[in-house]
Chain A
Amino acid sequence: MLPLDLDALTGCLASSACLVTQTTSGFIIGMLLFLVAVGLTLIFGVLKVVNFSHGAFYMFGAYFAMTAYQLTGSFALAMLCGAAGTAILGLVFERGFMSRVYGADVLMQLLVCYAFVLIFDDVVRMIWGPEFKSMGMPAAFQVAPLFIAGGVVPPYYLLLISVALAAAAVLGLGLARTRIGKVIRAAAHNPGMVSALGINTGLIYGGVFALGGMLAGLAGALAAPVRSLTPGMGFSVLIESFIVTVIGGMGSILGALIGALLIGMIRSFGSLGFPLFTEGLMYLFMVIVLVSRPTGLFGKEVA
């Protein structure tokens, strides 16, 4: 089999049915990735630490949602538990551990995060067991897929994309327009000055970390009905999130959105045109961005 199958790709681009199906497929992969990556980029932007344990929040979100769903049978409550649970976890993790290594050596921060990757995986193993689990699709979404211009779109994925887009909009507007958003941006820019103005920066840091954790947890909860749950499931998501933040630029929310959608589209259309080179294509794209714009597409020069 040839690594290139351009006939399949051009054939797809010419057909509206294929175009719709593959584009939504790219959106699904991209939007879930965005929710994880945006937390990563937000935490880096404000706290200036790279949270290598971010994948664990995605994992906990999925497990919290599954447990809540099994206990209550309510999908909405499951999503809420996934998001709220990881927000609390993020706050505790930041206040208890991460806040102690701000300003420390990057290696030290990396070590703490990596330790928690292992600890969190083992905690999941202890609570939920080592075997893989499945949450199952809620009955409301066990319906035939929609056909839009001939393309197949599952209703659950429409919900997933809208929730993620809504989260992106709220986040973007919240940071740009509200007072809290202004304070967060100010803290990212000059934490010393913000602190001097009598604003509790510790609270802001904890809040941002909780927000980042919550978004990753929401992604995990949204993914739980369609992906199998295992200890360590956050790892591959984390790797792709890093690619997203590198492409989009560390600290940029718009960058995370564009980067995630790019990865989604590369996967979805790449699997048609370059079936044996889809993974490679992602990394190749990242390399090109790194060489031409080392700060990422929307990254700002680090002062």
Chain B
Amino acid sequence: MTRTRKPGVSRRATLAMMGAGAVTFATPWVARAQAKTIKVGMPTILSGRVAQLGTSSRNAVMLEVEKVNAAGGLAGRQIEMVIRDSKGQPQEAARVARELVNTDGCEILIDAEASSGAFAVHEVARDLGVLCIHTNSETSSLTADPKQHIPNAFRTARQGVHDSIVGGSYAAAIAKAKGLKKWATCSPDYAYGRDTTGEYVTYLKRFAPDVEIISESWPKLFQPDYTEVVTKILQAKPQALYSCLWGGDLTSYIDQANIYALFSQMEVFAVNMADYTALTVVKNLPKGIHSGNRYIKTYPATPENAAWGDAYKAKYNEYPTNWSWENATAIMLLAEASKKANSADGKKIAEALRGLKIKSPFGADGTVTMRAEDQTLVGYAIGWGTTIPQEPYVPQVQAGDWKTIFELEAEWKKSKGYT
């Protein structure tokens, strides 16, 4: 029987072509998965009222990634950053994080979200098992609470409880020296404002037991006018005022309190004042506001820190923020851990990260450590000082003592039932 060939494409040829097509289309994907670049996903806030902080996170990451890539990347693989806007919404942050891993093929996540979003991204990391570094959330429970603990998530941000211990002891020393017994507080009315103020007052009272809070104000977040709060505090006549207002809210508050001469009537402690975003915007910065360090290139007063701040300014034409150093630290730790593990694999890097101590411009003693037990950053520079209206803005910073921080933090964890 003779086979007659029908005109057109045979079944065999069709199959062959499909096979070839599959190979052609699949090859780049294989190449992408195995070869040179490693994709690192980063959800952060690039629009809305805190966009400035998200942008400064991105800037710091890119600054460090360039250096790592120039030195050969992560175990020979060049880092490719995939950075997406979460608009500051937790559900969007979680969606973006999931998409970065599942669709874009990112093997590591840098979670540059504020606290609200960080907890959402944390759940995604728990679900997908991908290596995740939280860079901006300062809410203590994110790493302190054992319920939140997962082996693949780390934090390179400061921690609320550390700040409160140092801030409380600094304020207590001044309260004792100057006899400041009557205190008022004025903080934004949401989780961060309430928690931070509560912890600060706890430690202030612990170090200076005769301090009394005589007035509390809780203005709304992003409230345009604080006049009624300013005059309320003036009526209460406290000797000292604590505030954790930040950003534009803090600068509005200062402008409005200034014309009531509030700053000459009491000592003011504003933890978020010493950040360049606020310091460079306020036109008439009162002298002598006590503030915690956020990022300032003169503290720690080392050539490394000054050089880092200047390099950032040279590249982006503005000073880094608190979020900048926290994100830069994430990349520095990643690079070092990958070198130690000699691998770009998330699990091996996580293994190497635990307990890793690296040289850092932001360390209190020139180093920072990723503490093994709760996978959070310790040993970073933390201190308080008073402001002047021009550079260096906070000429003398009094360093917090990490030994005291560790002791009180352990005690705090116990009181919360975390250990």
User: Measuring CB to CB, which residues of chain A are less than 8 angstroms from any residue of chain B?
Assistant: 1, 8, 12, 18, 21-22, 25-26, 28-29, 32, 130-137, 141-142, 144-145, 152, 154-157, 223, 225-228, 230, 232-233, 236-237, 267-268, 270-272, 275-276, 278-279
- B234 and A152 contact, CB distance less than 8 A: yes
- A230 and B259 contact, CB distance less than 8 A: no
Partner of A275, one of B217, B227, B252, B284: B217
A58 to chain B, nearest CB (A): 10
Most B CB within 10 A of own CB, among A21, A141, A267: A21
Partner of A137, one of B51, B225, B251, B259: B259
- B251 and A132 contact, CB distance less than 8 A: yes
Q: Is the interface of B mostly helix, strand, loop or mixed?
A: helix
- A145 and B259 contact, CB distance less than 8 A: yes
Check A136/B52 contact, CB under 8 A, given A226-B259, A237-B224: no
- B49 and A227 contact, CB distance less than 8 A: no
By a CB distance below 8 angstroms, the chain B residues around A142 are 284
- B220 and A228 contact, CB distance less than 8 A: no
Per-residue A-contact encoding for B146-183, CB less than 8 Å = 1, 0 else? 00000000000000000000000000000000000000
Partner of B260, one of A131, A145, A230, A279: A145
Per-residue A-contact encoding for B208-229, CB less than 8 Å = 1, 0 else? 0000000011101011110111
By a CB distance below 8 angstroms, the chain B residues around A270 are 228
By a CB distance below 8 angstroms, the chain B residues around A237 are 224
Partner of B249, one of A22, A136, A228, A272: A228
- A29 and B52 contact, CB distance less than 8 A: no
B277 sits at the interface (CB 8 A): yes
- Can you report 6 A-B residue pairs in the complex whose CB atoms are below 8 A from each other? A132-B248, A223-B225, A228-B255, A230-B49, A268-B227, A271-B232
By a CB distance below 8 angstroms, the chain A residues around B220 are 279
Give the distance in Å from the alpha carbon of A290 to the alpha carbon of B379 in the complex: 58
Interface size on B, residues (CB 8 A): 37
B97 to chain A, nearest CB (A): 23
Find the B residue at minimum CB distance from A129.
Answer: B52
By a CB distance below 8 angstroms, the chain A residues around B128 are none
Most A CB within 10 A of own CB, among B217, B223, B251: B251
B214 to chain A, nearest CB (A): 11
Give the distance in Å from the alpha carbon of A132 to the alpha carbon of B249 in the complex: 9
- B228 and A267 contact, CB distance less than 8 A: yes
- A236 and B222 contact, CB distance less than 8 A: yes
Give the distance in Å from the alpha carbon of A230 to the alpha carbon of B223 in the complex: 12
Check A25/B252 contact, CB under 8 A, given A1-B216, A130-B52, A154-B259: no
B282 sits at the interface (CB 8 A): yes
- A135 and B235 contact, CB distance less than 8 A: no
B359 sits at the interface (CB 8 A): no
B283 sits at the interface (CB 8 A): yes
B261 sits at the interface (CB 8 A): yes
Give the distance in Å from the alpha carbon of A244 to the alpha carbon of B117 in the complex: 35
Find the B residue at minimum CB distance from A237.
Answer: B224
By a CB distance below 8 angstroms, the chain A residues around B256 are 226-227
By a CB distance below 8 angstroms, the chain B residues around A157 are 259
- B228 and A21 contact, CB distance less than 8 A: no
Q: Would you list which residues of chain B between 244 and 259 have a CB under 8 Å from chain A?
A: 247-249, 251-252, 255-256, 258-259
B319 to chain A, nearest CB (A): 12
By a CB distance below 8 angstroms, the chain A residues around B225 are 28-29, 32, 223, 227
Give the distance in Å from the alpha carbon of A252 to the alpha carbon of B47 in the complex: 38
By a CB distance below 8 angstroms, the chain B residues around A28 are 225, 227
Most A CB within 10 A of own CB, among B55, B224, B249: B224
- A134 and B52 contact, CB distance less than 8 A: no
Partner of B283, one of A12, A134, A230: A134
Check A132/B281 contact, CB under 8 A, given A228-B249, A228-B252: yes
B231 sits at the interface (CB 8 A): yes
- A225 and B255 contact, CB distance less than 8 A: yes
Q: Would you list which residues of chain B between 232 and 275 have a CB under 8 Å from chain A?
A: 232, 234-235, 247-249, 251-252, 255-256, 258-261
Give the distance in Å from the alpha carbon of A78 to the alpha carbon of B88 in the complex: 34
- B248 and A230 contact, CB distance less than 8 A: yes
Give the distance in Å from the alpha carbon of A233 to the alpha carbon of B222 in the complex: 9
- A228 and B281 contact, CB distance less than 8 A: yes
A131-B281, A228-B252 provided; 10 other pairs, C-beta below 8 A? A8-B235, A25-B231, A29-B225, A131-B51, A152-B234, A157-B259, A227-B255, A228-B281, A278-B228, A279-B220
Give the distance in Å from the alpha carbon of A133 to the alpha carbon of B230 in the complex: 21
Closest 5 CB pairs of A and B: A136-B283, A132-B248, A228-B248, A154-B259, A271-B228
B178 to chain A, nearest CB (A): 23
Find the A residue at minimum CB distance from B222.
Answer: A236
Partner of A226, one of B55, B249, B252: B252
Find the B residue at minimum CB distance from A32.
Answer: B225
- A18 and B52 contact, CB distance less than 8 A: no
B190 to chain A, nearest CB (A): 14
By a CB distance below 8 angstroms, the chain A residues around B229 are 271
By a CB distance below 8 angstroms, the chain A residues around B248 are 132, 228, 230
Partner of A130, one of B51, B230, B232, B260: B51
Give the distance in Å from the alpha carbon of A276 to the alpha carbon of B229 in the complex: 12
- B217 and A134 contact, CB distance less than 8 A: no
By a CB distance below 8 angstroms, the chain A residues around B282 are 134
Give the distance in Å from the alpha carbon of A223 to the alpha carbon of B226 in the complex: 12
By a CB distance below 8 angstroms, the chain A residues around B234 are 21, 152
By a CB distance below 8 angstroms, the chain B residues around A25 are 227-228, 230-231
- B218 and A275 contact, CB distance less than 8 A: yes
By a CB distance below 8 angstroms, the chain B residues around A134 are 251-252, 255, 281-283
Find the B residue at minimum CB distance from A132.
Answer: B248
Check A131/B277 contact, CB under 8 A, given A137-B283, A225-B255: yes
- A276 and B218 contact, CB distance less than 8 A: yes
Partner of A18, one of B49, B228, B235: B235
By a CB distance below 8 angstroms, the chain B residues around A236 are 222-224
B94 to chain A, nearest CB (A): 24
By a CB distance below 8 angstroms, the chain B residues around A137 are 255, 258-259, 283-284
Check A271/B217 contact, CB under 8 A, given A136-B283, A137-B255, A233-B224: yes
By a CB distance below 8 angstroms, the chain B residues around A130 are 47, 51-52, 55
Partner of B235, one of A267, A272, A276: A272
By a CB distance below 8 angstroms, the chain B residues around A12 are 235
Give the distance in Å from the alpha carbon of A162 to the alpha carbon of B412 in the complex: 54
- A226 and B255 contact, CB distance less than 8 A: yes
Find the B residue at minimum CB distance from A228.
Answer: B248
A291 to chain B, nearest CB (A): 26
